[in-house]
Structures are given as C-alpha cells and as structure tokens.
Structure 1
C-alpha cells in the first residue's frame, strides 16, 4: 500500500486518478481548491479506507507547504505525488495577441505559470524533501498536455506552462534518480472531463472527435491508467519520460 497525493482531485482526471490508486489498495489524499462538495463526493466514492481531503491554492508557496504537511499528517507519509491541479483553457482566460490588452495578457500568463509550473515545482520540492528525509523511493507524475508540443495560439500561456512542466519533470528525473525517486509526465490530448462536455455536445464536438483517427476523445480513466502505470515501481526505468496519451491526434518526432 502506498500513500498518494493527487492535486486537483475534485473531478475529471484528478478524480479518475485518485480512483485508480484507491482501486489498487492505496490510500489517497484528495486535493481541492474551491470545490469541496466535488472533492467530498469523490472521497465518498473511493473504494477502501483511510482516504482524506486536503485543500489550498497551489499558486501560493505557503499553501503548498500546508498541503504537503496536511497530507503527510493525515496519511502518515507520502510515496506518490500526482500533479494535476492546473488553470485550464477557458473562455475566461483566452488570450490572443492583437485581441486583448497588455494587462490582461500579463495576468493570464502570471496565473497559468504560477499554478501550472511554479505550483508544480513547489509541490515536487515538498514530496522530494519528505522522501529524501525518509530515505524512501517514490514517484512524481505530472499531468502535462499535447499543447506543449503543438502550440496553443489562443492560450499560449497554457502551452508555455505545460512545456515548462515537462522540462521540470525531466530535470527532476535526473536530480532525484540517485534517491530512488522517479519523475515522469503524461501529455493528454482532449479529454472528456465534465467541464468539457458542453464543447463535445456543441458545434465543435465533431471536429474535436475528428482530431483522433479513433474518431473520439480520451476519457479521464484512460489518462488515469497512464498516470497509475508511470507511478508504479515497474515504470521506474521510464523516469524522465513524457507519455503521449492523445489517441494519435498529435504525433511528435
């Protein structure tokens, strides 16, 4: 049994990842920022016992310290970190050069970088310090994006933050290997999370499904399976990897 912290676990990929670890007999700390009701619903649905909730805004370094400390206190230790909490593209943070003002541009970049990259870096420091002090192996899995490779012209801050997250993971993979800690990333394409269902049901739904030769989009459970494998002891030799999980919708060389 492992003790796992999953950030952004009140729904979507985070909830699916938490469920996958719980199904394997692991104990899970479900992190949320504002959606406590969603996190409580996920908590109630998890198989097994001993799962807990933790909260805090990962863009705040002090809050990150509290998140890590709370998870360790409630679970007794941490063995795996899944970095899933992120500011995702939405109509509210679309930022296209030539269409928005400078202040909005700066604000969108700051928010996405603070949460998606700096928050991830601070979370990684927290669990790595804990594991090193325990002299214990462990795993960090980052949830990145295919947007890091193909570009996101309407959301360049998002693509930049995810590209940085992938590079962070590879850098930490080298730094933490001597301590027996693996670090890897999964790069999903479009995933049918609850907040994306309106797009799939709307006018752009067919175009989104057509991005993949499978004729559909991914599911949270499929991404969770990739996360679970990368966090497993069997995947330690894949430390530093970025696993594409996009249904062949974007192929990189």
Structure 2
C-alpha cells in the first residue's frame, strides 16, 4: 500500500522540500557532484536580485515624489531637458502607474529573494554537511546580509540546539529589535500603497480615462497583495513516499 502523508507548508518550505528531493535523487543516482557550483550560482543570482530590488525602490521613491508634486499642482524643471512636468501630458497618470508597478515589482523581488534563501539553505546544508558548518555562514561570506537578524534568534543555527541560552529579557529585547524592523518595512510598503490610492482617488479626472488609470492602479496593487500573501499563506501538501523513494531514472533526471 502506498504510504501518504499530508501537511501544511508555505511556499518557502515547498521550495526547500523540492530542492532537498533533487539533492537526494542526485546522491541515489551517483551523479557528478555539482552542488558547490550550483550554490555559488544561486548566491550570485540572489545578489543580482537584491540589486534590482534596490533600483526598483529608487524608482518607487522618485515616482511617488513626482506624483505628489503633480497632485499638489507644483511644477519643476525636468533635469536635462527644457521642459517642465506641466508640459508632459498625463504626467500624474504616468507617475501613478509607474509607482504601482514599482510596488508590485518590489513585492515580487522580495518573494523571489526569500525563495532563493530557502533553496540556498537547502543546497548549502548538503555542501556543508561534511564539515558541519552552518550554511548561513557560507552565504554570509559571499554576500552582504543582516546577520543581527540571525543571531537575535533563540536558536541561530537551524537544526542544532543552542549551547548558549539567552535570558528572558534578552529574548524580549531581540524580539522587539527584529519585530520593529519587520513592522517598519511593512508599514512603509503599506504607506506607499495608501499614497498611490489616495492620490489616484483625489487627483485623477472624473472621466473614462481617469477611471481606467484608477482601475489599473487598483489591479496592480491587488496583485501585489497576493504576492505578499504568498510569503505567509500555507496550503496542504500530500507526500507520496513511493515517489520520494523512487530510485530509477525518470524524465527529470540527468542520468542516462
């Protein structure tokens, strides 16, 4: 009889589980070890994603700034040109759509970076298993990271019981430290969304074109909420052990 087991998991855990299954299959089939090269590539790609996220954040800031100016009836000279923002047709509409798209892209980038973290941890755990090194240290050695978030946890090393136990006041302090960081980042994200919707609601013309732009912004913002929800929402997964324990090659294997 096929043994099955159901459990609720988030998208991060799903990515980690699929990666771990690929690593197990690689070992069963005695394929050439490529994990270290894969790990290096994953770390580099995540670094590029983080750089893209920073560029998108700058784009969001500029778009919102220009939208506020246009909304308030201000007029500034566009650098490098002889025109001002008042001379640009539908300038407010363009800024609002650009800001909405920036919010969506930031949300997608954040989700992608977190998935990269899950996959990197799974691969790094396999690569570092022989010397028992914390995989997070491998990642931190190759790309800048906020290590204080890791060491504020009660058990900084995943899967290992801490040998140094912090007092209750320390746990509270570190919890507040990381909690405020999460709250501030989430509040800024929500503030950007609220600003876009408020300016769109009060500043756009009450005609068909204005309502089309408003509906476009709302749709983009709604998509960003779905992407943000993917960070925390969990769905039921069924584990089929007959498939997980399968040793012969299939269409997904590299062996012949």
Q: Could you state the TM-score of these two structures normalised by the residue count of structure 2?
A: 0.28
Larger proportion of strand: 1
**Bigger relative CO (Cα 8 Å, ≥ 6 apart):** 2
Larger proportion of helix: 2
